[in-house]
Chains A and B, each alone.
Chain A
Amino acid sequence: MENAKLNSKGLKKRRKERIDRGIKVRSNDIFAVCSWREMLYLSCPRLIPTVGILLLPLVLGVYWQKVYLSVAVFALLAISWDILAQTGMISLGQALFFGMGAYLSGIANHYWGISPFFTLPFATLFGGLICTLVLLPVLRLRGIYFSMVTLIIPLMLVRVIEATRIFGGTEGISGMAALPSKWLELYLISAALLGALFGFRRLMDSDYGLVLKGIRDNDRSVINAGINIYQFKAQALFFASSVGAFAGAFMTHVYMFVGMPVFALDYSILPIAAAVVGGPGTLAGATLGAFILVPLSEILRGIGGLRIVFYGLFLVIFIVALPEGIFHYIQRKYHHFERWVEMDR
C-alpha cells in the first residue's frame, strides 16, 4: 500500500485481523440444524470434555485414577474460585470451603455414624451455609481487603483446632467410612464436576449471572439499578463455598481421614493457579487448568528435589506466553481465523 505506516525500522506496520470463521457465523442462527458439520461445530466443545471426563476413569491405571480424583477435586475448587472472581470477589481462601466441608462430613460420619451418602449432601449444604455466614460481615470489603480476610480465616481455624484440641486436635479424625466402590468414587466426582461446570456456566450466562458480573464491573451502578448487591454477593458466595465444601467432604471419604492439612494453603493457591493458567472468567478454563497442573505436578514427582522449581518454571512460562489463559486461546482459534494485514493509516 502506498501510504502504509512504517515503523522505526522502515518496515510496514502490521496488525492482526481477527475474523469469525464462516462456520461460526452460520451456526449462530437456525441454519445450524441444517448440516452435520454445523451441528458438530456447536456440540464438539461440549461433547469432547463430557465424553473425555466420562471415559477417562476407564482407561487410567490404579495410580492415575487416584490422581484423577485429585484433579477433579482441584477443578471443583478452581470453579469455586472462578465463580467468586466473576462476582468481583478475589478469594485467597478456598481452603476454608474445602476444610469446612471436610471436617463437617468427618464429624458427621465419625461422631454420629452417618453414612457417606448423607454426609456428602449434608456437608455440601451446611459447609456452604457456614462459610457464607462466616464471610457475610466482610462482603462489604472490596478488592485486596476481602482477599486478606479470606486468606486469614482458614489459617485461624487451624490454630483453633490445634489449641483447643477439638475434633482430634493435631491428630485429626481417622477411620472414616469410604464410599462402597472405587467406581462410585470416580463417577460421583466426575458427575459433580460436569454438573458444576455446565450448571454454573449456564447460570453465569443467564440474566442472573449478568447481575453478578455487573457487580464485578461496577457495584455502584448495580445498586443504582435497585438491586441489593449484598444479597447477590451472598448467593454467589454460597454457590462457591458449597462447591468447595463438596470437594472437601468427598476427599474426607477418599482418604478416610480428616485433619488440619485440609485448611492448608495448597487448597487456596493451586485453584487460583489453575484458574489463571486455564483462563479465568469461563469456569471451563479453571477446569482445564486443573487438568494440566495437577498431573504435571505428579509427573514431576520423578525429578525429586527440583520438582517445585520446574513446576514454578512451567507456571511462569504458561503465564508469560499465554497471559489470557489457555482456554481463551483455544476458544479464539476455534471461532476465528487470523491474518496479518498492513496498517494503512
Chain B
Amino acid sequence: MNATPLLIVTDLSKHFGGVKAVNRVSFELKEGELLGFIGPNGSGKTTIVNLITGFVKPSAGNVVYRGQEVTALAPHKRVLLGMSRTFQMVKPFYQLPAFKNMIIPLYSSRVKNMVGGKYGDRDAMALDLLEEVGFERDARVAYKVASVLPQGYLKRLELAKAIALQPDLLILDELFSGLSLAEVASIVPIIEKLRLEGKTIIMIEHRLRELFRIADRVIVLNYGKKIADGNPVDVMESDAVKKAYLGSE
C-alpha cells in the first residue's frame, strides 16, 4: 500500500447562489480504502461527487489525485486518470441494447491502452463484464434494449459501465437506492470483490446497514459541512450525528 493518499480534498466548497451546498470539506483517502458518505437529504453528498469528478466546478478549495492537482481538469480527463463514477439517477443509453451500452466506456483510450480491444472484441468484453455484475448470460438480458430493463438491471449496468473503465478510484452514488433487499444482497459481493482487487471506493449511501458492513470509514455531512469522520461504529455514537439524523437535542 502506498504511503501518499490517493485523493486529497482540501477546503472544497460549492455555493449555489446563497446556498452553501458544500462548505469547506476536507478529507484524505488512502489507497484501497472504502469510504462511505452519509447524511440527510440535501446535505451535499452528490455535490461532493460532482466536484471530485469535475462535473461541477468548485467555488473554492482543491482536489489532488495521485499527487496531481485536478481541480480544473475536464471530467473526461479525470476518468482517463482512473476516476470513475456511477450516477444516482441511472444514465444508460436507452435506445441501445445493454451490451452495446458497454461499448462506449470500452471505447475510451484508457481501456484501449490497458486492455486493448479491436472492433468485435468489445462485444465479448461487454458480455463478460455484464455477467460479472449479474446479467445472467443464459437469460439473454444483456441483448435487451436498455429502455425495457427494470431498475435493478439498470443499476447493475451503471456499475458495469464504471467498472469497464478499469478505475483505481470508483465512486458509487447511491447505488443501492431503489433496489430490493435481495438485489442489494446480490450486489454487495461484487463490491467486496472489487475491494479485494485493490480498488479504492467511495460510496454514497442511505442504506446504512449495508454500508456499515463493508465500509472502513464513514464521513457524515450535514448542511454541506463535515460533522463526523471515522470508523462506522464510532461515528454513529457521536452526538453531532445523532442530532443531525434524529433532530434530538
Interfacial residues, chain A to chain B (CB-CB below 8 A) = 206-208, 210-211, 213-214, 217-218, 220-229
Residues of chain B lying within 8 A (CB to CB) of residue A211:
103-104, 107
Q: A218-B91, A225-B104, A225-B161 are in contact. Are A210 and B80 (CB under 8 A)?
A: no
Q: Is the CB of B103 within 8 A of A217?
A: no
Residues of chain A lying within 8 A (CB to CB) of residue B77:
226
A-B residue pairs in contact (CB < 8 Å), sample of 19? A206-B119, A207-B122, A208-B107, A210-B103, A211-B103, A213-B95, A217-B96, A220-B55, A220-B87, A221-B87, A221-B93, A223-B75, A223-B79, A224-B76, A225-B76, A225-B79, A226-B76, A227-B76, A229-B76
Q: How distant is the Cα of A228 from the Cα of B109 in the complex, in angstroms?
A: 10
Could you tell me the distance in whole angstroms from the C-beta of A291 to the nearest C-beta in chain B? 26
Q: Give the nearest-CB partner of A218 in chain B.
A: B91
Interface of A is mostly: helix
B contacts with A, residue count (CB < 8 A): 31
Residues of chain B lying within 8 A (CB to CB) of residue A224:
53, 75-76, 79, 84-85, 87, 91, 161-162
Check B105 for interface membership: any CB of A closer than 8 A.
yes
Check B92 for interface membership: any CB of A closer than 8 A.
yes
Q: Give the nearest-CB partner of A217 in chain B.
A: B93
Interfacial residues, chain B to chain A (CB-CB below 8 A) = 53, 55, 74-77, 79-80, 84-85, 87, 91-96, 100, 103-110, 119, 122, 161-162, 165
Could you tell me the distance in whole angstroms from the C-beta of B160 to the nearest C-beta in chain A? 12
Neighbour of B119 across the interface among A207, A214, A225, A227, CB < 8 A: A207
Neighbour of B96 across the interface among A206, A210, A226, A229, CB < 8 A: A210
Residues of chain A lying within 8 A (CB to CB) of residue B95:
213, 217
Q: Is the CB of B161 within 8 A of A228?
A: no
Residues of chain B lying within 8 A (CB to CB) of residue A225:
76, 79, 104-105, 107-108, 161, 165
Q: How distant is the Cα of A228 from the Cα of B110 in the complex, in angstroms?
A: 12
Could you tell me the distance in whole angstroms from the C-beta of B108 to the nearest C-beta in chain A? 4
Could you tell me the distance in whole angstroms from the C-beta of A140 to the nearest C-beta in chain B? 12
Q: Is the CB of A227 within 8 A of B108?
A: yes
Q: Give the nearest-CB partner of B75 in chain A.
A: A223
Could you tell me the distance in whole angstroms from the C-beta of B219 to the nearest C-beta in chain A? 23
> Could you say which of B93, B108, B122, B161 has the most chain A C-beta atoms within 10 Å of its C-beta?
B93
Q: Is the CB of B122 within 8 A of A221?
A: no
Q: How distant is the Cα of A214 from the Cα of B55 in the complex, in angstroms?
A: 18
Q: Is the CB of B104 within 8 A of A210?
A: yes
Residues of chain A lying within 8 A (CB to CB) of residue B107:
207-208, 210-211, 225, 227
Q: Is the CB of B108 within 8 A of A226?
A: yes
Q: Is the CB of A226 within 8 A of B91?
A: no
Residues of chain A lying within 8 A (CB to CB) of residue B92:
217-218, 221
Q: Give the nearest-CB partner of A212 in chain B.
A: B104
Given contact pairs A223-B75, A223-B76, a sample of 18 additional A-B residue pairs in the complex whose CB atoms are under 8 Å apart: A206-B119, A210-B103, A214-B96, A217-B92, A217-B94, A220-B55, A220-B87, A221-B87, A221-B93, A221-B104, A224-B75, A224-B84, A224-B161, A225-B76, A225-B107, A225-B161, A225-B165, A228-B76
Could you tell me the distance in whole angstroms from the C-beta of A219 to the nearest C-beta in chain B? 9
Q: How distant is the Cα of A223 from the Cα of B96 in the complex, in angstroms?
A: 17
Q: Is the CB of B93 within 8 A of A213?
A: yes
Q: Give the nearest-CB partner of B93 in chain A.
A: A217
Q: How distant is the Cα of A232 from the Cα of B228 in the complex, in angstroms?
A: 43
Q: How distant is the Cα of A208 from the Cα of B119 in the complex, in angstroms?
A: 9
> Could you say which of A207, A220, A224 has the most chain B C-beta atoms within 10 Å of its C-beta?
A224
Residues of chain A lying within 8 A (CB to CB) of residue B119:
206-207
Residues of chain B lying within 8 A (CB to CB) of residue A229:
76
Q: How distant is the Cα of A326 from the Cα of B55 in the complex, in angstroms?
A: 41
Q: Give the nearest-CB partner of A281 in chain B.
A: B95
Residues of chain B lying within 8 A (CB to CB) of residue A213:
93, 95-96
Residues of chain A lying within 8 A (CB to CB) of residue B84:
224, 226
Q: How distant is the Cα of A227 from the Cα of B76 in the complex, in angstroms?
A: 6
Could you tell me the distance in whole angstroms from the C-beta of B236 to the nearest C-beta in chain A? 32
Q: Is the CB of A226 within 8 A of B122?
A: no
Could you tell me the distance in whole angstroms from the C-beta of A331 to the nearest C-beta in chain B? 16
> Could you say which of A211, A221, A229 has the most chain B C-beta atoms within 10 Å of its C-beta?
A221
Shortest 4 CB-CB contacts between residues of A and residues of B: A226-B79, A226-B108, A225-B105, A217-B93
Q: How distant is the Cα of A211 from the Cα of B77 in the complex, in angstroms?
A: 17
Q: Give the nearest-CB partner of A206 in chain B.
A: B119
Residues of chain A lying within 8 A (CB to CB) of residue B93:
213-214, 217-218, 221
Q: How distant is the Cα of A210 from the Cα of B108 in the complex, in angstroms?
A: 12
Neighbour of B110 across the interface among A206, A218, A223, A226, CB < 8 A: A226
Could you tell me the distance in whole angstroms from the C-beta of A138 to the nearest C-beta in chain B? 18
Q: How distant is the Cα of A222 from the Cα of B55 in the complex, in angstroms?
A: 12
